[in-house]
Structure formats: structure tokens, C-alpha cells
């Protein structure tokens, strides 16, 4: 059986890990801008809520003012008619209650307008920060993507140079995205990753004759001793 060039296979694995690391780093960089965009969207939604609430409270105040006007007119007529003090006091209590509610609404509107002002200030600062980070991210991502393209080209070159069996096997195992990678070694007569017992014959084929073999249990490729 033909010996395998494990140095190329090992290099492929190393570059593949670097490739995945770069992809994670690019995603993390882009996430920096996404977080700020989400915060801006959150404040825009809150601003819409505030404006709606202010509008509702203003409408409520106008409605109460209309009620107060009607009650004052009714109270005035009752006074002219010589109505009892108790009845007049009852109308006045209703007027006072409505005016107190309107005053409370005005205070709430004042608080909402202050919050609205703060959301506008936050958005202005956030958009400025976003613009600065987007420029920074663009530079970093451009550099990492160039490195990524170089690695992809190198990976393709390595694959093309490998024997067909080794190439197909490496591609298949790489697609599985195994937690600790597609390689293992023999350690105390067992697969280092899954502890499957390896025969002495297989151990000699791998470590001495440097033949391409997989672990029967976890399917990882055995790397010879010293690789």
C-alpha cells in the first residue's frame, strides 16, 4: 500500500482551522455594528410609543377640558336657579377631580417629552458611533476576507495534490465539522479521541508504514507518530 503525505494533510487541517477562525472573527466584527443598529431600532420604537402616548394624553386632556367647561356651565345655571350648596359642591368636586387628572396628565407628558429628548440625543450619538465603527469594521473585514481568499486558494491547491482517496476522505470529514477536528493519534494502543482499541497490525500500518487509516469508531484519520 502507498504511503501517505501526512504533512500536506496536516497542513490542510491547520489551514481549515484558520479559515474557520477567520469566518468567526468576520462575523464578530459585523456583529459589532448589528448591536448598535438594534439599539437604534429599539430607541426608534420607543420614540414612536412616546409620541403615541403623548398624543393620547393630550386628547384626554382636551376631553377633560370640555367636560370641565360643561360642568362649569351647568354649575353656573344651578347657582342662578338657587340650587342647594350640596349639589353645587358635588359639581365642584367633579370639576376639581377632572382638573387634577388633567394636571397629572400634563406632568406625565412633561416626563415623556424629556424621555423623547433623551432618545433623540442617544440616537444622534449612536449613529455617529455606528458610522465610525462601520468604517473600522470595513477595514478589518476587508483585510480578513483577503486572508480568507488566500487560505481558500491554498486549501484547493493542497486538495488537488493529494491522492483521490485521501482528498475525498478529507473533504468528507471536514464537512462534518468534528468538535476536535478530523484527526487523531494512537495513544496506549487506543484512539486518542474515542479510546477505541487499535490492533497491533493497524498500529504498525499507521506509525511505521504511514498508511492512511481511519478509526473504526469515530472515523477520524490517524496521524502517524511524529506528525
Does position 162 have pLDDT exceeding 80, yes or no? yes
Could you tell me the end-to-end alpha-carbon distance of the chain, in angstroms, rounded to an integer? 19
C-alpha cell recorded at residue 168? 475525498
Based on its alpha-carbon atoms, the radius of gyration of the chain, rounded to whole angstroms, reads 38
pTM above 0.75, yes or no: no
Predicted local distance difference test score (pLDDT) of residue 91: 92
Ranges of H-type helices in 162-210: 164-176, 200-207
117-135 pLDDT tens trace: 999 999 999 999 999 999 9
Assigned architecture for domain 10-162: Orthogonal Bundle (1.10)
Is the pLDDT higher at 190 or at 227? Answer: 190
Q: Where do the domains of the chain lie? A: 10-162
Name 10's Cβ contacts closer than 8 Å, sequence gap at least 6: 183, 223, 227
DSSP string, 136-150: HHHHHHHHHHHHHHH
Q: What is the mean pLDDT of residues 14-29?
A: 90
Predicted local distance difference test score (pLDDT) of residue 226: 74
Amino acid at each position: 500500500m502507498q504511503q501517505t503525505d501526512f504533512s500536506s494533510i496536516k497542513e490542510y487541517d491547520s489551514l481549515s482551522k484558520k479559515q474557520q477562525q477567520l469566518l468567526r472573527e468576520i462575523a464578530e466584527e459585523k456583529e459589532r455594528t448589528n448591536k448598535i443598529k438594534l439599539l437604534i431600532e429599539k430607541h426608534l420604537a420607543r420614540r414612536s410609543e412616546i409620541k403615541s402616548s403623548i398624543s393620547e394624553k393630550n386628547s384626554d386632556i382636551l376631553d377633560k377640558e370640555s367636560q370641565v367647561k360643561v360642568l362649569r356651565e351647568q354649575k353656573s345655571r344651578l347657582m342662578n336657579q338657587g340650587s342647594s350648596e350640596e349639589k353645587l359642591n358635588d359639581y365642584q368636586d367633579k370639576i376639581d377631580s377632572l382638573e387634577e387628572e388633567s394636571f397629572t396628565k400634563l406632568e406625565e407628558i412633561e416626563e415623556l417629552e424629556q424621555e423623547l429628548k433623551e432618545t433623540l440625543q442617544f440616537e444622534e450619538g449612536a449613529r455617529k458611533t455606528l458610522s465610525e465603527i462601520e468604517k473600522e469594521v470595513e477595514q478589518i473585514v476587508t483585510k480578513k476576507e483577503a486572508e480568507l481568499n488566500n487560505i481558500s486558494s491554498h486549501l484547493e491547491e493542497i486538495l488537488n495534490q493529494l491522492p483521490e482517496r485521501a482528498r475525498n476522505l478529507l473533504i468528507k470529514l471536514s464537512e462534518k465539522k468534528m468538535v476536535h477536528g478530523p484527526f487523531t493519534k494512537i495513544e496506549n494502543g487506543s484512539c486518542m479521541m474515542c479510546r477505541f482499541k487499535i490492533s497491533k497490525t493497524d498500529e504498525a500500518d499507521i506509525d511505521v508504514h504511514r498508511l492512511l487509516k481511519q478509526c473504526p469508531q469515530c472515523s477520524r484519520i490517524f496521524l502517524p507518530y511524529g506528525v
